[in-house]
Amino acid sequence: MDKTWKIQDLGRGLRNSLKAMLRGEFLLRLNIGRYFVHIVYAFFLFAMVIWLSLAIEGTMTKVERSKAELNELEIVHTQKVFDLATLTKRSNVKQLLEQKGSKLAEPTQPATVLK
């Protein structure tokens, strides 16, 4: 008996293995049928780890996007607070009223209480 390997044997073995994989018989040919449940469980765990990492990555992307948006909104808020603080000064209010042609002025008498 000749026990040397030939390239044809390798090609035939790969072809048979591929056919067995397509038919779902590959694990049975290797006599791993009794570990099938464990293999399915391991596949399920790997799939869950991949799915969980993708979900975490998506969440982290949203967090980073929200942080950038929050920083921009803080800048806008600070600018508006500054603008409001400058507008509440009496001299600025008086100048704005004069520019608009309003006849309003500071009160000269205390306010009267209506009952």
Query: Mean pLDDT across the stretch 92-111?
Result: 81
Does the pLDDT at position 80 exceed 80?
Answer: yes
Average pLDDT over every residue of 25-50: 87
Compare 103 and 87 and report the one with higher pLDDT: 103
CA distance 89 to 85: 7
Taking residues 31-44, report their average pLDDT.
86
Give the predicted TM-score (pTM) of the model: 0.48
**8 A C-beta contact, residue 17 and residue 26:** yes
Average pLDDT of the residues in 16-45: 84
Write down the pLDDT at residue 18.
87
